Amino acid sequence: MIKSILAVGLGSFAGGAARYLVTRWVQIKVTSGFPLGTMVVNVAGCFVLGLLVGLLGRWGVTNAYVRLFLTVGFCGGFTTFSTFMGDNMVLARGGDVPGLVLNIALSIAAGAAALWLGGWVSRL
């Protein structure tokens, strides 16, 4: 368990640092207030997660710590949106369309409500 936590933690550190650098680099290049850096990171994270899952399977990489470091750690630290989309892909591939729709709708609605509620609580 400790090795798994370390693999995820180190990957998260690397992914979080990469997220910060990529987001800043994109935002420096963009003159508008649109959060393009965040969008780029979210989309890139989804691509990287899909690529890693595919390549790890293709190359026969079964080491759990390598998989945890790269997918849950790095991609999760780079953007949790990629993890969310990865979960949606699993639901879609499994044919669980109701679960897929529920996960997307509930995550967006509950996330927006929680964000609003957190802001409201902070003003009390």
C-beta neighbour count of 7 within 10 angstroms: 21
Per-residue pLDDT at 92: 94
Measured distance CA(118)–CA(99) in Å, rounded: 27
The pTM of the full predicted model, rounded to 2 decimals, is 0.74
Strand, helix or coil for residue 11: helix
**Beta carbons of 81 and 49 less than 8 angstroms apart:** no
124 confidence band (pLDDT: 50, 70, 90): confident
Residues 6-42: pLDDT tens digits?
999 999 999 999 999 999 999 899 877 777 888 889 8
Whether residue 25 is contained in a domain is answered as yes
Q: How many domains does the chain have?
A: 1
Domain of residue 14, residue span: 2-79
Residue 67: inside a domain:
yes
